[in-house]
Amino acid sequence: MTETESEHVVFVTEDGVPTGETGPKLASHHAETRLHLAFSCYVLRRSDQALLITQRAQDKKVWPGVWTNSVCGHPAPGEALEDAVRRRAAYEIGLPELADLRCVLPSYRYRTPPFEGIVENEFCPVFVAWADRDPEPNPAEVGGWRWVSWADYAQLLQDPGAGVSYWAKDQYAQLKTEEPFSLLGQQNFGA
């Protein structure tokens, strides 16, 4: 059994408070997905302020083949969100050492329209972290990856043919005004 097959999601209230109920990750995602706890993380490269974006593997049940932020996932029951981010970053993108991990959108919540019959419904705090090397992605999770400037990422999100995740587009509206994203591209950033 793979890590993904054995994972469980934590069901939460509209405010992100665990209900005490959990469900198998894969079986819990369907047309009527219950609200559950998740996270998104944006990994930036210090040398040039580039953002790591990933393409979800074609075999993934939820939003296969779409481009999205660096890494997403679900904390296990009782697992701290920061620990879950680090665990999934190691498993999905081969980056076990993330520097300066911090939450930038602690109350982000979204519900997607159906995509290939699946609705994503998450209370999903959003994190940022830094890495100094290229990822070594797990092919079961990631179909492609690249480093892009924040400006190029903004353009990608506007391209209707780019195949970008709903949550990446939705999170951008809030992230662009938050540090460090609001500072990306400025000449003295990170100096």
Report yes or no: 38 and 87 within 8 Å, Cβ to Cβ: no
Q: 191 lies in a domain?
A: no
Looking at the structure of the chain, the number of domains it has is 1
Query: Following DSSP, what letter does each residue of 19-59 receive, concatenated?
Result: EEEEEEHHHH-STTPPPEE-EEEEEEETTT-PEEEEEE-TT
Determine whether the annotation assigns residue 122 to a binding site: yes
8 appears as a binding residue in the annotation:
no
Residue 29 annotated as lining a ligand binding site:
yes
Active-site residue flag, 103: no
62 phi and psi angles, rounded to 5 deg: -105, 120
Q: Of the listed 72, 82, 124, 141, which one is catalytic?
A: 72
Long-range contacts of 175-180 (CB under 8 A, 24+ apart): 175/42, 175/104, 175/105, 175/126, 178/104, 178/105, 179/104, 180/44, 180/128
Report pLDDT digits (tens) over 37-75.
999 999 999 999 999 999 999 999 888 999 999 999 999
- Confirm whether 86 is domain-assigned: yes
Share of the chain above pLDDT 70, in %: 94
**Which listed residue (82, 122, 124, 141) is catalytic?**
122
pLDDT above 80: residue 187: no
Assigned domain for 184 exists: no
92 is in an annotated binding site: yes
- At 3 the pLDDT is 52
Give catalytic status of residue 72 as yes or no: yes
In a domain, 189, yes or no: no
pLDDT at 190 over 70: no
β-strands 39-45, 126-131 pairing: parallel
Q: Is residue 188 part of a domain?
A: no
Is 36 annotated in a binding site? The answer is: yes
Q: Quick one: CA dihedral 30, 33, 39, 44, positive or negative? A: positive
Examine residue 21 and state whether it is found in any structural domain, yes or no. yes
**CATH number, domain with residue 151:** 3.90.79.10
Range of the structural domain that residue 45 is part of: 3-179
Q: How confident is the prediction for the chain on average, in pLDDT?
A: 92
Do residues 51 and 58 touch, judged by C-beta distance below 8 A?
no
pTM (two decimals):
0.93
pLDDT of residue 33: 93
